[in-house]
Amino acid sequence: MPSNSLVFAYQNVRVRLIVYVALILVGGFLATNILSYQISKGTIRTTVLENELPLSSNTIYSEIQTDLLRPIFISSLMANDTFLRDWAINGENTPDSAIRYLKAIRDKYDAFTSYFVSAKTLKYYHFEGISRILDASAPKDKWFFRVQNMREDYEVNIDSNNEQGEALTIFINYRVLDYDGNFIGVAGVGLGLDSVARMIKQYQENFRRRIYFIDQNGEIHLDSDTNPAGIKNIRRQPGLDALAVKIVSNNTGAFIFERGTETVLLTTRYIPELKWYLLVELNESRATKELWNSFLANLAIGSVVIVLTILLISYTVNIFQSRLEEMASTDKLTGLGNRQTFEIVLKQALSQFERTKLPFSLILIDIDHFKDVNDTYGHLNGDKVLKKFATHTRQLNRQSDILCRWGGEEFIILAPECSLGDAKRMAESIRNSIRDARFVDANPEHQITISAGVCEIIRGEDGNQVISRADTALYTAKKNGRDQVQEA
């Protein structure tokens, strides 16, 4: 049997091997998966910024344009309606007829508002009556004089609706001309921003994006979600403040910024009809949620695989370790501990003797004339004799005694807590038992005898010294005729 020290040494190597293999597996697995996750995350980020969010912007822009087509068409009908043109040219004598006309337009087309402003009288006709008279010096009325001087047929303008509670409204301001092409006023309908707000709200719910508009100054309008920062201007929002100038300086853009602990992907687009910028945001964690879940699943599966692999490696190493321990510490022929094992056992016994002062003894045994057995009966029979001798002798030892093959036909016994006298009596008992036994199958009558040298440890001795004394005693026994026990 291998000694505790030898077993510990092998176990230490095994543990280190398994730890190193585990570290390589875990390190390689984590490195591969983390690298793969980062690459996939970068790909998703690029896809979102270059495709998904711009597609959302395009869709919203298309829907806004679609929503504007109908009111533009209605405003065009009004500007070219002969009734309205004749009424304005003939001096606006019956205001009620114009008001009824505007109300009919509003009701028929379900417009938010309908209006006509006369270039001659500057009166603002509303579907509910004459609202007021425009003032060229008033900032809120400058839009009319801008439309008067522009070359385009109409403009889309977002402004507060003075006639309907200052509600923010998309006005389609269409130029009205007389039959000679002279400017005589502005007609149009208004589109409430509620419809646009509902659209982007629905879009936000369907695609989990935050959608909002900003003006040139960075003021936020029509936000589809609760303002994360509670601030209505991006120039004062953490993360967006550093991008505000870039956003309002370009027609389109793609940005990445941090809002608190969240990474946000952002695309921007200028909407010329509204003179606003459309911003579409997506939290990166939402875009990579499935990838993150897949990463966690891979980690879980990989952990199970690694554990099973380590268990398999441990099992395999244990098998090989047991075999290596046996090969390294056991004599192949007899099954006893070999010389290396005995040297370790002796070292432990010396250490214990230093601590406890309890003596131990060595018995060095040599089979007499074993060469004659090999020469007479052959080496195979000689090997059988050695095996039977080892088994027989081991049965004569105490449980605490350690019997090892010293080499060739020599064997050595370490007897813990055994005095020289007790060791000599043990050696004599073994000698007598061996002499009475028969080990040679080829000749049952052949008698085997042994010579033995016995010594007890002396304080201050090392392993070589105590073995040397036992060897000297063995030599004396052989010199004096063999088949005897000598002490040192």
Q: Is the pLDDT of residue 228 over 70?
A: no
Three-state SS at 470: helix
Nearest Cα neighbor of 362 from 325, 410, 329 is 410
Average pLDDT over every residue of 312-335: 76
82 or 47, greater pLDDT: 82
Contact 3, 328 (CB under 8 A): no
Residue 113 has pLDDT above 80, yes or no: yes
* Cβ-Cβ contacts under 8 Å for 381 (sequence gap 6 or more): 373, 374, 440, 441, 442
* Residue with the larger pLDDT of the pair 22 and 164: 22
Q: What is the mean pLDDT of the chain?
A: 88
Closest CA to 222 of 186, 183, 196: 196
* Percent above pLDDT 90 for the chain: 55
Name which of 39-53, 178-192, 377-391, 447-461 the model is least confident about: 39-53
Average pLDDT over residues 161-189: 87
Topology adopted by domain 208-287:
Beta-Lactamase (3.30.450)
Mean pLDDT of 209-229: 78
pTM over 0.85: no
What pLDDT does residue 357 have?
92
Backbone angles phi and psi of 109, in degrees to 5 = -105, 5
What is the rounded distance in angstroms from the CA atom of residue 272 to the CA atom of residue 221?
Answer: 15
* Cβ atoms of residues 411 and 362 within 8 Å: no
Q: What single-letter DSSP state applies at residue 112?
A: S
Q: What torsion, rounded to 10 degrees, do the Cα atoms 278, 284, 290, 292 define?
A: 180
Residue 113 near residue 161 (C-beta atoms within 8 A): yes
User: Distance between CA 151 and CA 108 in Å, rounded?
Assistant: 30
> Which of 16 and 441 is assigned the larger pLDDT?
441
Q: For residue 92, which phi and psi values (nearest 5 degrees)? A: 55, 45
Q: Are 75 and 154 in contact (CB under 8 A)?
A: yes
Q: Say if residue 133's pLDDT is above 60.
A: yes
pLDDT given for residue 51 in this prediction:
86
- What average pLDDT does range 356-371 have in this prediction? 95
Residue 94, amino acid: T
Q: Same topology for domains 208-287 and 339-487, yes or no?
A: no
> Is residue 181 over pLDDT 90?
yes
Number of C-beta neighbours around residue 311 at 10 A:
11
What is the pLDDT at residue 159?
79
Distance CA(466)–CA(347), nearest Å, equals 11
**CATH T-level topology, domain 80-194:** Beta-Lactamase (3.30.450)
Per-domain boundaries in the chain: 4-72+289-329, 80-194, 208-287, 339-487
For residue 295, the model assigns a pLDDT of 77
Could you tell me if 156 and 150 are in contact, meaning their C-beta atoms sit under 8 angstroms apart? no
Classify domain 339-487 by CATH architecture: 2-Layer Sandwich (3.30)
Helix and strand element counts for the chain (H, E):
14, 16
pLDDT tens-digit readout, 400-450: 999 999 999 999 999 999 999 999 999 999 999 999 999 998 898 899 999
Kindly state the helix (H) or strand (E) to which residue 174 belongs, with its residue range.
strand 167-177
pLDDT of residue 1: 44
Q: What is the pLDDT of residues 44-53, one digit of tens each?
A: 888 888 888 8
Q: Is the distance from CB of 130 to CB of 124 less than 8 angstroms?
A: yes
| Residue 237 identity | Q
How far is residue 414's CA from residue 151's CA, in Å, rounded to a whole number? 118
